[in-house]
Every structure is written in structure tokens, then in C-alpha cells.
Amino acid sequence: GAIKDGCDFYISSAAISDYKPEKIAGKIPSNKDISIKLLPLPKILDEVASALKSTSSSKNAKIAAFKLGDDADEKAEKMVAAGIDLVCANGAENMGADGGRYGLHTKDGVAQVGGTKEETAGEIWRRLL
């Protein structure tokens, strides 16, 4: 699809799920407690980055991603070291809010930015360009 055709930028969705529920046969009874087994999903960002870097028309594509959590800055640094061009790290306090503080990690370092999500999106674009 689109990756094979090449692209200049790939901005990953925030909150890509790491797990999916295991499929079961039949209907789940509605009047009982249940446990749901979660199965790991492939790391989509790793697959996309690999596909882009191996496609001649997309070798120089810029890749942006998002990382959420208490250790988001540490994990963002590892993602940049692994070849992601920009990682927007943020904490759970930003979820559902109109804005917040974010760490924009690139090979040149980290910039702490704040503002609305729209302002932060603009800052991400400026740094990718």
C-alpha cells in the first residue's frame, strides 16, 4: 500500500495498542464475571520504520511518534537512538486535556514545549521540516 509507494513523512498515531483480546468461540454470558486474556501485537512503528528505510523512494522519510508514561522521556531517547526522527513524550496528566507540557526528542536533543495540542502539533511539524 502506501508505504510501498513511498512517503516523505510518517506520523504515527498516539496510543497504538500493544495488545489485543484473545478470540474465543461463542457468546460471552452477560451475567458472569470474566477474565480477558490479552495477546501482544506486533510493534507497528518498528515495521513501518523498517519498510520505509528499505524503500528507495522513502529512505529519507521523516518519522514521528508519541510515547506516554512516567518513563516516556527515557523511552523516547531509545526510540530516537533506534532511528525515529522525533518522539513526543508526555505524561498521563496530558490525556484528555486541551494541552500540556511535552518533550520533543530528536537526535539534536530534547526541547520542552507547552501549549495546546494544536500548538504542539505545529511545533512537531516545524522540527520535522
C-alpha to C-alpha distances, 44 to 35, 62, 71, 99, nearest whole angstrom: 26, 16, 20, 26
At residue 47, the pLDDT reads 86
pLDDT tens for the chain, residues 1 to 129 = 556 667 889 999 877 888 999 998 888 888 888 899 999 999 888 888 888 888 777 778 899 999 998 899 999 999 999 999 999 999 888 888 888 999 999 999 999 999 998 999 999 999 999
Q: Which CATH superfamily is domain 2-14+41-128 in?
A: CoaB-like (3.40.50.10300)
Name residue, grid cell 520542552: 112
Using left for φ > 0, alpha for ψ between -120 and 50, and beta otherwise, residue 118 falls in alpha
Any idea where the domains of the chain sit in the sequence?
2-14+41-128
pTM for the whole structure: 0.82
At residue 16, the pLDDT reads 82
pLDDT of 29-52, one tens digit each? Answer: 888 888 999 999 998 888 888 888
57-84 as b/e, with b when 16 or more CB fall inside 10 Å? Answer: ebeebbbbbbbbeeebbebbbebbeeeb
